Amino acid sequence: MKRTLLIGVLLVFDLSAVIIPARADGNPCPTESTPGCTFGLPTDQYNQLLVQMNAHPAPEVSDVPVDVPEVHSFSFYKVLPNTQVYDEPNGNVIDKLSDGFNFVIIHGLKSGYAMLRDGTWVKRSSLKQTYASQFSGVQFPSALPFPMAWVIQASIPYPFPGGVNNPKTPAVEKFKRVYLYASVHVGQWDWYLIGPGQWLEQRKLARVDPVSRPADVSGKWVAVNLYEQVLTAYDGDNLIFATLISSGLPGWETRTGEFKVWQKLNLTPMSGAMGQADEYSLPAVPYVMFFDNDISLHGTYWHEGFGFKHSHGCVNMSISDAHWVYNWMGDGDLHVVVQSGRS
């Protein structure tokens, strides 16, 4: 059985032991009606776990505080396709904004038009207001009896791994934190028991997989798991924080390796791929920590697809999480270890 051991302030995770049965064993109950089985596990194992599930129904962690006014302050306007630029409200067309992933700030409104920073105007209907996510990660104040994960896509749980679910069963909401009480391997995928009679397939979950500190890393460091799309933060060997991230899309993959943050910026504009279909222009990106040339950890207000790849190589975090890491790093060094995770 996997366990988490707390020694003073040191959290030590033995990830070789938490989940029963082992993945290589496959599903010990190949059908729902297999004699001696309950909800996909041997009845004696399931009954033992049921006691634990009732005693520990949800991960005992604390939320990273969300500064709601700050999150709300990162409300910008996405430029819709075919947006024309005018010299004044109801005036002459003088240009056209790019159709890429571009955001602007409104500096005035008049007669259904919005004034941009350079004094030109666009129709207000050509802009879509966006709002930053209030998602935040967690801190680990105490020991965890089982590994935890986030549900990254609202999903109806299954009563049997690899079986058929009941569409009338309530869905588990997106970003819900769950314990992984047991695992079986069915077909290509692992299935996790997340509650009494509730199984989800691994692609619906992002698992927190603590890692060992590399020998040449000391002090404060973060690990980015590209498979799980999870970031974990450590002080020495102590795991203290975890959250969901979004790394680089295919063709823009976040590079694996060991890095060190070389520059911090509280707020900076970002743009790239100019003239291409995936051109982007972001007027104010918060809590930026560059670690691999122009690749950074940073706050994100233009999506909340955390748990899925979504970027041009940077490690996207929520505003609250990026703020937490930025402040926690302080004026010292921060090592960034980017790993591919399990295959």
The model's pLDDT over 234-243, given as tens digits with 9 standing for 90+, comes to: 999 999 999 9
Task: Determine what percent of the chain is predicted with pLDDT higher than 90.
Answer: 82
Please check whether residue 121 is in contact with residue 134, taking contact to mean a CB–CB distance below 8 angstroms. Answer: no
The pTM is what?
0.89
Average pLDDT, the chain: 89
Residue 25 confidence (pLDDT) above 80:
no
Residue 15 confidence (pLDDT) above 60:
no
CATH number for the segment(s) 220-339: 2.40.440.10
Q: pLDDT (tens digit, 9 = 90+) per residue, 182-221? A: 999 998 999 999 999 999 999 999 999 999 999 999 999 9
Q: pLDDT (tens digit, 9 = 90+) per residue, 42-70? A: 999 999 999 999 999 999 999 999 999 99
Domain ranges of the chain: 3-56+145-207, 77-129, 220-339
Residue 26 confidence (pLDDT) above 90:
no
Higher pLDDT, 187 or 315: 315
